[in-house]
Amino acid sequence: MADLFKEKAEIYDSKDWEKELSAIGKMISSKIPFHDQMHVMDFGAGTGLLCSQVSPLVKKITAVDISEAMLEKLNLKPDLKTKVNAVCLNIMNTPIEGEFDMIISAFALHHVEDTNRLIQTFAEHLGAGSRVALVDIDEEDGSFHSEDNSGVFHCGFDRDNLKTTLKMNSFEHIEFVQTHFFKWDEKEYSAFLVTAIKV
């Protein structure tokens, strides 16, 4: 299978995107009680920009992505070597053994066609009382990925629909917060953070 993100891996660590993920990492950290014994999954970890924000707060991170090119960039970062294990895997087809204390993800959900199956898979990787913290784009007109939409299955998300999907898959205490508004190719988009607890 072709790596759809091979070219994007070369530019993903741009200063603007690094700044975005840094701010998101800080917001997640302000909402979630991380501790130094946690094993966290970063779903759609890319080049490790979110991992970089969270790894100092936890015991270890399993960075999951289907793009080998993205994970190669992650593996080159010396500050991630001690705590982050990169795994190139589709967890919906091949689950990871064991349970995680938390799953984090930033701007990866819209790249997965079956959102319900993905959230179900998250639940299967978490024990009772564990959490998810997921960041993505609010529903938009399709222009966010207008030039290259290969591997894009959703034009953002309706928050009520995503809340329903989380509830259907054993998540409760679901909270949405606005992360920020940002400009991309001269258009403004909004992003959200949703947190929830597996029951």
Give me the pLDDT at residue 187, please.
79
What's the pLDDT tens digit per position in 73-123? 999 999 999 999 999 999 999 999 999 999 999 999 999 999 999 999 999
What's the pLDDT tens digit per position in 150-195? 678 898 999 999 999 999 999 999 999 998 777 666 778 889 999 9
CATH superfamily of 6-198: Vaccinia Virus protein VP39 (3.40.50.150)
Q: Containing H/E element for 27?
A: helix 15-31
The whole-angstrom separation of Cα 29 and Cα 50 is 11
What percent of the chain stands above pLDDT 90?
A: 68
State yes or no: pLDDT of 12 exceeds 60.
no
The whole-angstrom separation of Cα 155 and Cα 163 is 17
The whole-angstrom separation of Cα 77 and Cα 80 is 6
**Domain boundaries defined on the chain:** 6-198
- Local structure of residue 66 (DSSP, 8 states): S
Average pLDDT of the chain to the nearest whole number: 88
State yes or no: pLDDT of 2 exceeds 60.
no
What is the three-state SS of 73-129?
HHHCCHHHCCCEEEEECCCCCCCCCCCEEEEEEECCHHHCCCHHHHHHHHHHCEEEE
